[in-house]
């Protein structure tokens, strides 16, 4: 398989790398004051959110459809409607993800940039409040 044919999941490094991405994402969210707003809308324990994000990203990145197998269609926007997501919340979430990508995608700058754009589009789609 040529690199151009590999999925983002494969290019990232498979299950181990996706877990590392999710772990770093929630570490930043939990520890960096920049992410205080988005952290506040999560449960005290991030374990459930972390597992769900791992399952979702596995399929979203082109790997196994673990989330769909366990929970059905993600219905991302509908599942996030109870949470007030405005530009600030979107940007805090993206800040955490971009920090995680910086660490996990250091080996592939092109992949990092592709994923940053994909996450931006998805996070922006999740906004459900003005501002």
- State the pLDDT at residue 1: 43
- The structural domains of the chain, ordered by start, are 3-125 (1.10.490.10)
pLDDT category at 5 given cuts 50, 70, 90 is confident
pLDDT one-digit tens code per residue, 103-114: 999 999 999 999
pLDDT one-digit tens code per residue, 30-55: 999 999 999 999 999 999 999 999 99
Residue 87 pLDDT greater than 60, yes or no: yes
State the CB neighbour count (10 A cutoff) for residue 114. Answer: 14
User: And the tokens for 68?
Assistant: 């769909």
For tokens 């992949």, name the residue.
111
The rounded mean pLDDT for the chain is: 94
- State the pLDDT at residue 4: 58
C-alpha distances (whole Å) from 20 to each of 26, 27, 54, 69 are 10, 10, 9, 22
Upper half-sphere CA count for residue 72 (Cβ side, 13 Å) = 2
pLDDT one-digit tens code per residue, 62-84: 999 999 999 998 888 888 888 88
DSSP string of 70-121, one letter each residue:
HHSS--HHHHHTTS---HHHHHHHHHHHHHHHHHHTTT-HHHHHHHHHHHHH
- State the pLDDT at residue 77: 87
Q: Note the residue count of the chain.
A: 131
State the CB neighbour count (10 A cutoff) for residue 131. Answer: 8
Residue 3 pLDDT greater than 90, yes or no: no
């Amino acid at each position: 398989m040529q690199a151009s044919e590999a999925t983002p999941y494969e290019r990232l490094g498979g299950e181990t790398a996706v877990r590392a991405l999710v772990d770093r994402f929630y570490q930043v969210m939990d520890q960096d004051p920049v992410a205080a707003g988005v952290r506040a809308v999560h449960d005290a324990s991030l374990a459930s959110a972390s597992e769900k994000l791992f399952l979702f990203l596995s399929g979203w990145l082109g790997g196994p459809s673990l989330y769909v197998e366990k929970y059905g269609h993600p219905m991302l926007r509908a599942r996030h409607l109870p949470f007030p997501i405005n530009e600030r919340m979107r940007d805090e979430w993206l800040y955490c993800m971009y920090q995680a990508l910086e660490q996990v995608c250091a080996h592939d700058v092109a992949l990092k940039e592709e994923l940053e754009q994909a996450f931006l589009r998805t996070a922006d789609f999740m906004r459900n409040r003005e501002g």
